[in-house]
Structure 1
Amino acid sequence: MNPGTRKLSTGDDELTFLAHTISMSSLHGPGPWPPHAMDLPDEPPRQDDGRPYMPSVVMDGVRTHHFGFAPDLGAVQEVADLLQWRAPYQRLHERLAEACALELCDELVSELAGRELSRRQVYEAGRWLAEHGTRREAVKIGIVLVGASGDERDRELLLLLGTLEEFTLYAAVALLRTQPAGERERAVFELAGRVTAWGRIHAVERLEGSDDPEVKAWLLREGFRNGVMDEYLAPLAATTGDLYSALLDPEPDEALVDGAGGILSALVRGEGGPTTGISAYGEAVPALARYADLAAAGEATLRRLDHLLTIRRHLSEPPEHWLPADVQALRRRYADVLAQPRWAELALAGVADPRSDGFALAQYCAQGLALPILPQLVARLRVDPCDGFTWQHVLGLADPGTLVALAEELLPLDDLANGPGDRLIGDGHEQALETIVTELERHPGLGLPLVRAALRNRGIRVRRCAVRALRAWPEPPEEAAAWVRAAHAVEPDGALRDEMDAYLGQG
């Protein structure tokens, strides 16, 4: 199989997904692949309108974990008929390209099992779709069909396609169905190491309950981490990986200590989140106590400081079933650990250089330790006025006059008067302007130049914040009414025009 040679039989010049994965594998190895590799061959052009973009791989992840989905039984019957009647593969591909694989896969396999189709007939259709497909939903169903009818010889194909996050869910299930009993888990384990986001979540979830020492060790050190939310996999890692038992090692390695902090902090963040949180972890109390001991004696890093602060915050509202004595002991222990001077020194060192790549994490940690770092934050904004997180932190430290003066100095107000438009999410400068003008509603009389620029910005939310800031003024300046009238004359959003009317006394 050479890159670029697998085409649809129509003579179409579209790149197949298999050719894409072969190319990425040749360039970047088995995976994980760089982000640009996930720009799929059939991806439609995106409009730069500031609206949130939801890739189909994210939609699959959200639907499988949160919303569920109903099978499309009509489509199942139609596709099964095409397979049974041996319709041309091109026609089958075209039909599947319009379908949603999630709504077909399980019911289609069941439907085909009850029909008079040979295993080979299903397999050949699946391999053709997987190898020649140029549309993601058709390739997904191809992988499903291979999983229903293939064998251990399909491992390489499934791993290759599964390294694309878009297909990992389907490839992981297919590997479990096609590989010999002793190799199924190892194949999924290999796939899990090749992906980092939703694909990592789908693959690792299929390792739950593993008793393979290598798998368990990997889950505790790396396997729970993913580019979506570590909270999805932390409960599985803690239980399948036997976290507490591993922490009892007299000399645990640094990767295990870091992994334990990541898992425990994800568990405390996960209360009420996408999966079970710390309250459902039966060994939470002793594991938290042991982690505090290890962190106290180990190397001081910003990552560990972040974990300690996250856990300490949660201890203010612990699970109800924890014993009060245990809670008090944990609170004292974490307070003692964080009182070590080295943590404050570490955070302050991290915010000393405003250009440092680690500035954001150091800033977060310094905030958690209540360190006075306003001068460092101002220095950061002078380097990067688009840093919205730093602007948010400055809001809580600077007096309103200082905040407004800084924003008027650093933000390119003339360039921000770039609308009106219908963007929902702007660039960094626009997000910073929105943050500050929102705060101006609490401080009427300040920031008129900021409000004027916001009224003329392309972002709907920015303009709305400007109107609301002006409405908070007891006696708005005369020029503000003229600005709002001018903005009203060109405002594309009806609801915002109504708010402007109300401000002008016309509504």
Structure 2
Amino acid sequence: MSFKEEFKREMRNIKNDAAKEVDKYWAIDFQGHKIEIHNKMLEETVKVDGRIVASNTRQSIWSHLMPYSTLSGTFQTEDGKHHKVFVKIGGLVRLNIVVKVDGRVIFKEAITLEFLPWSNKEFIVPYLEQQIKEHHKIINTDLPDDAYLVDENHPKLAPGLSDQLVSEGVTPFFTKKLLKLFMEQVENPTTQTRKATYEKIKEEKVISYFHELLELFVLEEIDEQRVQQEAIWLLEHAAHREVVKFAIIILGCTDCESMKERVKILALHEEFTGVALFALKNGTSNSNDSIWQIAKSVSGWGKIEAINFLEPNTEEIRLWILTEGTKNNVMNHYSSLICAEKGKLDIMLHESEISKELFIGAGEIILGLLGEVTHQAIDEYEYSGQVLMRYTYHAKTHCSGLEHFYILTRIAKYMSEDEETWNERYATNWKPHERQAVKEAILEIAKDPIWIQQTSSILHSGNKKDTHALAIAQYYKLDITELLFEKLKNDPNNLDYHMAIIATKDRKAIEALVTFMDRFESFEKLTEDEHFIIISLLEALGEYEGTGLHFIEKCLRSDDSSFQYFALNTLEKQDKRHWDRPDFIDVIQKIANKSKEKENRQLAKNLLS
């Protein structure tokens, strides 16, 4: 997020807050007639008996530099007499209003405009508590402060995700200053001290100074009752989510047993699950049962947080962690490593027989551990060798569908690394006999012809849910290239089909895929999948000298800087004699001179040198 975007959002919020603060309404009776005055940021109106008799419209908030505005109009009473109404409204610090009818003052008031950060807004905690009271669960994950955080440059995120994305800490002394303000609030709880703390909390995300706050707070000499009193005040008046989080953390630093049920309610909204679980674990007794109940009630980033806090102190909890822990609706398998460790997967799989439920759960954990090629958490897992050996052993009994056999093919791919990699694994978490046992078990299961039969049946059925079948076909090295191109005719943007063709490493298939890309007349208005397909092919072409040059040139000439980057990388891997011609030199020169991306300019210059 750029400073300009952040400043723009902050100014928008300030303007909206000011508009709400100055939005005032008065209704005055005059001889049975209703006089209404409505003051807004950019407009003042006077109505008598529902009819506008005077108004003033401002073009800009800067017109408030003229602190007062006057409005006058006339109205007629039932006796036929005309009356003149005059209103003077405005002020620099206080909003003053004087209403006169026929020169006589009938109303006068002065209101102090405080611009408190929590005023004129819906408080978050009562909003959530009302949902739980009415529905016994959170049915709407929107929060009242969404309007202050979401705009065209700041999309709405899944609850709890924004805390996962924070990578930087706060500026030096921020946390000390914040804690000092809060302690001043505790000692002298006034509107001004509360406002000072509240405004400071709003400046940064709580997660970015969470640990520092805990370290500093334990050094304070506190009156726990007064600390809780002010934490609860912030909790109940918070119209911004970071203030809610701060208040919960402070409560968690005290004995908050009396607040336990209230904190459990807040934990059900996944924006607050992490801090609420901290408060339960740190500030209440016998919290693990509560944490487990919450873990079973949330399904997104909150569930991921709950797995981190949950203690596997019973066999029932361990089994739940192994069978349900990795399932969530934001990033399946994200918690695979911690589930394997907390659920003691290695011990559970060492039984001579296991349940089908455990076998399926173990498979999901192993899929997560295998992860992507760029990062495989399984190499960080202390018992990876034992677990894969025992899982493949149990697969002889429980492997009954392609979804199970697919996991075995993923394991087989992991096992196929070079000897240098295996020497590193032997030094950490594998033994030679475990490796041999895994390979033998997979080969034994793979001998059954049913897997090829089922794979072929699915691939020829037109079923679009054929990801597992494609992987299994690749494992058996089945020649399905022609079939894949047939499928692409009906589903041209299917990523799996494109990647399966690239995985064949067959030059003719790659050339045919390049020709298939001619369907794009231009590279404008592409979907996310189309964008990824093009980049994937560009990367693959680096291995095929002189192939797809017209496609590479088209990517270079596009306005997409990422296409240019990968096209330049592809050319760098190839012998210059394939593309050393005027049309290529011309476009590369333009990128070297005019690209907005420094890396693209440098790559282009390297190619030309």
**Which residue is 1:371 aligned to?**
478
Query: Do residues 493 (structure 1) and 593 (structure 2) align?
Result: no
TM-score, normalised to structure 1, is: 0.77
Deviation at 1:93, TM superposition (A): 1.9
> What does residue range 81-92 of structure 1 map to in structure 2 within 5 Å?
81-88=184-191, 89-92=194-197
Q: Is the 8 A contact 1:159 1:191 kept in 2?
A: yes
Q: SS in structure 2 opposite 1:186?
A: helix
Q: Is the 8 A contact 2:389 2:438 kept in 1?
A: yes
For the residues of structure 1 that align with 2:494 and 2:600, how far apart are their CA atoms? 27
1:292 equivalent among 392, 395, 403:
392
Deviation at 1:141, TM superposition (A): 0.7
2:305 equivalent among 187, 194, 202:
202
Q: Is the 8 A contact 2:181 2:196 kept in 1?
A: no
For the residues of structure 2 that align with 1:370 and 1:34, how far apart are their CA atoms? 48
**Which residue is 1:217 aligned to?**
319
For the residues of structure 1 that align with 2:326 and 2:495, how far apart are their CA atoms? 28
1:35-87 Cα deviation digits (max 9, x unpaired): 988995643435499xxxx9522135x789xxxx9994344334433443325
Change (3 A) 1:188 1:385: same
Amino acid at match of 1:431: F
Change (3 A) 1:334 1:23: farther
**Which residue is 1:80 aligned to?**
183
Query: Do residues 120 (structure 1) and 120 (structure 2) align?
Result: no
Query: Do residues 480 (structure 1) and 584 (structure 2) align?
Result: yes
1:421-462 Cα deviation digits (max 9, x unpaired): xxxx98222222222233334434433442343123332121
Deviation at 1:189, TM superposition (A): 0.8
Amino acid at match of 1:190: Q
Change (3 A) 1:112 1:327: closer
Deviation at 1:90, TM superposition (A): 3.6
For the residues of structure 2 that align with 1:499 and 1:361, how far apart are their CA atoms? 38
Q: Is the 8 A contact 2:238 2:244 kept in 1?
A: yes
Greater RCO, CA 8 A, separation 6+: 1
Query: Do residues 185 (structure 1) and 285 (structure 2) align?
Result: no
**Which residue is 1:95 aligned to?**
200
Q: Is the 8 A contact 1:188 1:206 kept in 2?
A: yes
Q: Is the 8 A contact 1:231 1:275 kept in 2?
A: no
Q: Is the 8 A contact 1:455 1:467 kept in 2?
A: yes
**Which residue is 1:319 aligned to?**
426
Change (3 A) 1:439 1:334: closer
**Which residue is 1:430 aligned to?**
531
Query: Do residues 415 (structure 1) and 415 (structure 2) align?
Result: no
Q: SS in structure 1 opposite 2:488?
A: helix
**Which residue is 1:447 aligned to?**
548
Amino acid at match of 2:595: E
For the residues of structure 1 that align with 2:540 and 2:321, how far apart are their CA atoms? 43
For the residues of structure 1 that align with 2:352 and 2:145, how far apart are their CA atoms? 43
Deviation at 1:265, TM superposition (A): 4.6
For the residues of structure 2 that align with 1:455 and 1:23, how far apart are their CA atoms? 56
Change (3 A) 1:97 1:36: closer
Q: Is the 8 A contact 2:124 2:143 kept in 1?
A: no
* More displaced 10-residue stretch of structure 1: 161-170 or 345-354: 345-354
For the residues of structure 1 that align with 2:443 and 2:263, how far apart are their CA atoms? 49
1:143-180 Cα deviation digits (max 9, x unpaired): 11222345344344323332343322211111113433
Deviation at 1:411, TM superposition (A): 5.6
Query: Do residues 461 (structure 1) and 568 (structure 2) align?
Result: no
Q: SS in structure 1 opposite 2:392?
A: helix
For the residues of structure 1 that align with 2:216 and 2:185, how far apart are their CA atoms? 12
Q: SS in structure 1 opposite 2:358?
A: helix
Q: Is the 8 A contact 1:42 1:134 kept in 2?
A: no
Amino acid at match of 1:260: A
1:280 equivalent among 368, 371, 382:
382
Deviation at 1:301, TM superposition (A): 2.7
2:468 equivalent among 361, 378, 390:
361
**Which residue is 1:3 aligned to?**
none
> What does residue range 374-413 of structure 1 map to in structure 2 within 5 Å?
374-397=481-504, 399-410=506-517, 412-413=519-520
Amino acid at match of 1:427: E
Q: Is the 8 A contact 1:97 1:138 kept in 2?
A: yes
Q: SS in structure 1 opposite 2:577?
A: coil
Change (3 A) 1:483 1:46: same
> Identical aligned pairs, as a percentage?
18
Can you give the 5+ residue segments of structure 2 that lack an aligned partner in the other structure? 1-20, 22-114, 417-421
Q: Is the 8 A contact 2:542 2:571 kept in 1?
A: yes
Query: Do residues 130 (structure 1) and 231 (structure 2) align?
Result: no
* Residue-pair matches, total: 476
Q: Is the 8 A contact 1:455 1:484 kept in 2?
A: yes
Deviation at 1:20, TM superposition (A): 6.2
**Which residue is 1:244 aligned to?**
347
Change (3 A) 1:86 1:11: closer
Query: Do residues 305 (structure 1) and 405 (structure 2) align?
Result: yes
* More displaced 10-residue stretch of structure 1: 440-449 or 8-17: 8-17
For the residues of structure 2 that align with 1:289 and 1:55, how far apart are their CA atoms? 35
**Which residue is 2:53 aligned to?**
none
Change (3 A) 1:108 1:444: closer
For the residues of structure 1 that align with 2:187 and 2:376, how far apart are their CA atoms? 40
Q: Is the 8 A contact 2:346 2:383 kept in 1?
A: no
Judging by fraction of residues, say which structure has more helix: 1
Deviation at 1:497, TM superposition (A): 3.6
Deviation at 1:27, TM superposition (A): 10
Q: SS in structure 1 opposite 2:149?
A: coil
Amino acid at match of 1:77: K
For the residues of structure 2 that align with 1:410 and 1:336, how far apart are their CA atoms? 41
For the residues of structure 1 that align with 2:127 and 2:473, how far apart are their CA atoms? 45
For the residues of structure 1 that align with 2:542 and 2:373, how far apart are their CA atoms? 33
**Which residue is 1:421 aligned to?**
none
Deviation at 1:109, TM superposition (A): 4.9
For the residues of structure 1 that align with 2:123 and 2:326, how far apart are their CA atoms? 32
**Which residue is 2:454 aligned to?**
346
For the residues of structure 2 that align with 1:370 and 1:25, how far apart are their CA atoms? 55
Amino acid at match of 2:225: R
Deviation at 1:138, TM superposition (A): 1.9
Q: Is the 8 A contact 1:457 1:463 kept in 2?
A: yes
* More displaced 10-residue stretch of structure 1: 256-265 or 159-168: 159-168
For the residues of structure 2 that align with 1:158 and 1:414, how far apart are their CA atoms? 57
**Which residue is 1:56 aligned to?**
162
Can you give the 5+ residue segments of structure 1 that lack an aligned partner in the other structure? 1-6, 419-424
Q: Is the 8 A contact 1:455 1:463 kept in 2?
A: yes
Deviation at 1:203, TM superposition (A): 1.7
**Which residue is 2:103 aligned to?**
none
Q: Is the 8 A contact 1:147 1:178 kept in 2?
A: yes
Change (3 A) 1:229 1:483: same
Change (3 A) 1:470 1:138: same
Q: Is the 8 A contact 1:97 1:137 kept in 2?
A: yes
**Which residue is 2:439 aligned to?**
331
Change (3 A) 1:223 1:363: same
2:151 equivalent among 45, 48, 52:
45
